[in-house]
Amino acid sequence: MSDEQEPIVSEGEESTVEEMRAVLREYYIVNEEYQKAICVGEQCQRAVDPWYAATHLRNTHKVSKKLTRRISKTIREGTIRSDKGIPEDGTLPQEGLPVFDGFRCVGCGQFKARSVQEVEGHCQKIWHEETKYYMIERVRLQSWGGRDGADQRLWVVDEDKCSKSEDERVGENSNEESEEWVEEDSREDYEMGRETERLKEWVGDDANTWRWREAECGRDEMAGEWVVMSSG
């Protein structure tokens, strides 16, 4: 066979390659920035380690062993390498992963959990000697493990960035719609101002002197997206 001749691929081999590509398109998204293979199957929606990708497809999605062997080799030889950690707080949601409600300690800004009780326990342990009161913020979270996977390192996402980016693209071709967005932004600013005023009613301007408006009431209170807790 001359150098210019292309290798002959059998119909069976070509069919297998197409099946493999179809399975990859159906179940996996490759997150190149963080070097993750994310299974987008309805019951999954979480990152899968490259070494486990084939087993996951075989056990969870009942893909044949013949295909999963090829898929495993393809993924291992691909761009996915070492763990790149997690996104910074406040970034756009990562495609293929669910977004869920959670809470964050305002004092350190780092501790995050799905339940307010977990963050409360953290705050009581870390901040009880400095102040009797602490604050917990409601946030939207993601993790590589999705809702119930093993990797539950959490980060805060900003879903508003998605809608704002869409609005900006559409607004390039519609002055009328742009005016509506300005009105919407004004309403959001107004609501944010009201939220800030409500928050100031519950806490002082100085974070070191946060107090309840009714400090003797003896119960936890809510102020919009903030939770004011007592460690006493």
- End-to-end CA separation in angstroms for the chain: 84
> In terms of pTM, does the model score above 0.75?
no
Cα 21 to its chain centre, rounded Å, is: 27
What does the angle CA 142 – CA 147 – CA 149 come to, to the nearest 5 degrees? 105
Mean pLDDT confidence for 87-108: 95
At 133 the pLDDT is 72
At 202 the pLDDT is 44
At 196 the pLDDT is 52
Give the number of other CB atoms < 10 A from CB of residue 24.
Answer: 19
* Partner residues linked to 222 by β-bridges: 227
How far is the C-alpha of 141 from the C-alpha of 137, rounded, in Å? Answer: 12
Mean pLDDT confidence for 196-223: 43
Sign for the pseudo-dihedral over CA of 13, 19, 20, 25: positive
DSSP state of 6: P
Return the structure tokens found at 206: 């100085």
78 against 170, higher pLDDT = 78
- Report whether 74 contacts 142 (CB < 8 A): no
How far is the C-alpha of 158 from the C-alpha of 75, rounded, in Å? Answer: 30
Across 29-43, 170-184, 205-219, least confident range: 205-219
Mean pLDDT confidence for 187-204: 52
